[in-house]
Chains A and B, each alone.
Chain A
């Protein structure tokens, strides 16, 4: 039982940490919540058996790290557009070509 809970908690925490580093970081909250729940279950199991494990500490660290990164990105990073030079150049060239094309086209009557 303890082994299963530990595995699920670890997998969830690692998935949360990976998601928190990706552009789709917002969905990291879901595996993080699962990791927290299983972490609580593991803590209760440890309390009953009166054991102190390093695994539990590592798990807590992973959860805190993923939640911190995700929350920081959600609340403190702004969505910005960059690398638009190419599209601007493309537009300028396209307009010049369009003017030439438009010379032979007639407005509707």
Chain B
């Protein structure tokens, strides 16, 4: 399940040039998805994923809070309960992260993480709280930030600021993100436009494939696909992925508060 949720992120994840201006993500928007997994060849709805944005005020600035929650449907709760909460506090203009928090409960697995992005010293201060059978463990690690490393949630939102009009079909982009205190590299390949029928209507989309360079969570070539709406908001409409234990997909259920 852990790798399944990681893949869900990968399906959304694409980064852009450092500090690009945000022109696609609105405050107070909410995107809801249904995550399905193939069980013996039959697609089964297992969880609801929601992505929300909201403004957060500190004494010196107004930041944008990006929230990702993954919740298994009640029928699966007794089987394998997932209650994951991911939060990223970003600069609303550039979507560059300042603070990233991860609180996951997946079956018997529990973990809390916090990452502070120090842009002056170019470091990421990580705090990890592990809950294991043999006790609780806390650790603090500081990892260097190459300059364009983001957290997963910020990366999900940054994808929407990609300028697809400047991308050629077949063109690839590699970028960095932090996961489990380690930096990972993902490569995307723009595959052109495609029209998708979804719960939010018939949408013309930008289609792309995703591959991980230093992780084996994603399997196959061109088997991990993402479709983003070809409009101002560029929301993820559909994602398909292949992992070691099968295939799955994410379908949009509803979208509110988007930029027009």
Q: Which residues of A contact B (CB under 8 A)?
A: 22-24, 26-27, 29-30, 77, 79-84, 86-87, 90-91, 94-95, 98-99, 101-103, 105-109
Contact = CB atoms under 8 A, between A and B. Distances in A.
Interface residues of B, number: 44
A26 B37 CA distance: 12
B99 interface: yes
A82 B67 contact: no
A76 to B, nearest CB: 13
A108 B94 contact: yes
A94 B76 contact: no
Contacts of B83: 84, 86-87
B141 interface: no
B132 to A, nearest CB: 20
Interface stretch (B20-28, B84-92, B161-169): B84-92
Interface of B: 19, 34, 39-40, 42, 44-45, 48, 56-61, 63, 65, 67, 69, 71-79, 83, 85, 87, 89, 91, 94, 96, 98-99, 101, 103, 114, 116-120
Contacts, number: 92
Nearest to B91: A107
Contacts of B44: 24, 26
Nearest to B43: A26
A35 to B, nearest CB: 16
B60 A103 contact: yes
Given A27-B42, A29-B42, A79 B118 contact: no
B85 A90 contact: yes
B98 A102 contact: yes
A103 B77 CA distance: 37
